[in-house]
Amino acid sequence: MALLGAPQARAPFDRFEWWQGLVDHCGILPLIAVARDGEHRAVLPLMRQQRRIHALKIWYTFRVVPLISKGADPQAMLDALADGLIGEAPHLVLEPLADEDGLTTRLATALRKAGWITFMAPCDVNHVLEVGGRSYAEYLATRPGPLRTTLKRKAGKVSVELTSRFDSALWAEYEAVYAASWKPEEGCPAFLRAFAEQEAAAGRLRMAVARADGRAVAAQFWTVEGGTAFIHKLAHTMDSRPLSPGTTLSAALFEQVIDRDRVSLVDFGTGDDGYKRDWMEQIRPRYRIEAFRPLWPGNWPLIAKAALRAMLQRG
């Protein structure tokens, strides 16, 4: 289906290959909801967890959105998806949903029309940078003073290697850096490696490693697609903090994607980590939709709790 392949799918999480990787490496079996209207299609990637249906996501997923063919009536397609889910499960939990194009709001409307008791609320944030035609130098001049000072003082302390090819030795350095960092254990490392190989083959990978005295001390893994740079992974070893290698590495990759790849947006994924504010300029909400079939008795206590949460949030 063209809808699920590049270049029409403008983010990794929207492609069939991403979902196939979850099957091959993470033991996740997707449940793909599809609505059809002539040549038009609407697709919503989902998965089952016991009696609930969840959005199809793992640790590396920035966001989930309904995917709709160009030229289709979005509300009609979402209405069909909502109707089709009625017999699949009594309880839906969908997050993190993006609503920049209004599709999440429309999906909530469709679920209500289909008879689901539906709650929609913010659940996370997404830090992004809208480049706005600036050069890297122009962008850097707007960064906080302490960040620019750190770059001037520490840039020469490490060497930087940046590549768009997949290299097994370089990936081994990334894994060693990650293991020696503050980050938790990788959720599905085989998936991430396979994804990096796939993105390199398509020319979308941007991989960088910083070294001090010949030893890798920081690594980052980005991809570039559809005018957006996605920052997937970044880490530095705990003992290298005085060198600020992560800051130097981020600067090199921002220069790459802004001046050479000419992206219009840089996406730092979910989470409100303080360091993201140094590099990003906009914050977009991510949403959670929870929907229940009202005639299922097991849902009644959950509906009451969800309604109370909604009241408290509004209050």
Beta strands, E only, the chain: 30-37, 40-49, 52-55, 67-68, 91-97, 117-130, 159-163, 205-212, 215-225, 228-236, 265-270, 282-292
Residues 136 and 258 in one domain: yes
Residues 75 and 185 in one domain: no
Strand 265-270 versus strand 117-130 pairing type: antiparallel
Distances (CA, A) of 264 to 51, 98, 147, 282: 41, 18, 22, 13
Is 95 a member of any domain? yes
> Are 64 and 97 contacting, i.e. CB atoms less than 8 angstroms apart?
yes
Is 68 a member of any domain? yes
Enclosing domain of residue 295: 2-125+285-314
Over residues 124-130, the mean pLDDT reads 97
Is 257 a member of any domain? yes
Q: Which tens digits make up the pLDDT trace of 56-110?
A: 999 899 999 999 999 999 999 999 999 999 999 999 999 999 999 999 999 999 9
Residues 143 and 222 in one domain: yes
Structure tokens at 162: 């940046």
Is 278 a member of any domain? no
Residues 7 and 79 in one domain: yes
Residues 142 and 206 in one domain: yes
Crossing angle of helices 74-84 and 103-113, rounded to 10°: 50
Is 169 a member of any domain? yes
The per-residue pLDDT of the chain, averaged, comes to 95
Residues 11 and 120 in one domain: yes
Is 20 a member of any domain? yes
Residues 25 and 109 in one domain: yes
Whole-angstrom distance, CA of residue 78 vs CA of residue 297: 26
Over residues 166-181, the mean pLDDT reads 96
Over residues 29-51, the mean pLDDT reads 95
**Cβ partners under 8 Å of residue 100, min gap 6:** 284
Is 270 a member of any domain? no
What's the confidence (pLDDT) of residue 155?
82
Please state the separation of Cα 96 from the chain's center in Å.
9
Percent of the chain residues past pLDDT 90, beyond the cut:
90
Whole-angstrom distance, CA of residue 30 vs CA of residue 54: 10
Q: Which tens digits make up the pLDDT trace of 248-298?
A: 999 999 999 999 999 999 999 999 988 999 999 999 999 999 999 999 999
CATH number at residue 180: 3.40.630.30
Three-class SS of residue 97?
strand
Residues 108 and 203 in one domain: no
Is 272 a member of any domain? no
At residue 78, φ and ψ (nearest 5 deg) are -70, -35
Q: Which tens digits make up the pLDDT trace of 236-254?
A: 999 999 999 999 999 999 9
Whole-angstrom distance, CA of residue 188 vs CA of residue 181: 17
Count of domains forming the chain: 2
Q: Which tens digits make up the pLDDT trace of 3-32?
A: 777 767 789 999 999 999 999 999 999 999
Residues 154 and 251 in one domain: yes
Residues 102 and 198 in one domain: no
Residues 58 and 169 in one domain: no
Strand 117-130 versus strand 67-68 pairing type: unpaired
Handedness of CA 104, 110, 114, 120 (dihedral sign): positive
Whole-angstrom distance, CA of residue 255 vs CA of residue 129: 13
Residues 204 and 95 in one domain: no
Percent of the chain residues past pLDDT 70, beyond the cut:
98
Region of 59 on the Ramachandran plot (φ > 0 left; ψ -120 to 50 alpha; else beta): alpha
Distances (CA, A) of 151 to 75, 158, 231, 244, 249: 48, 11, 19, 8, 10
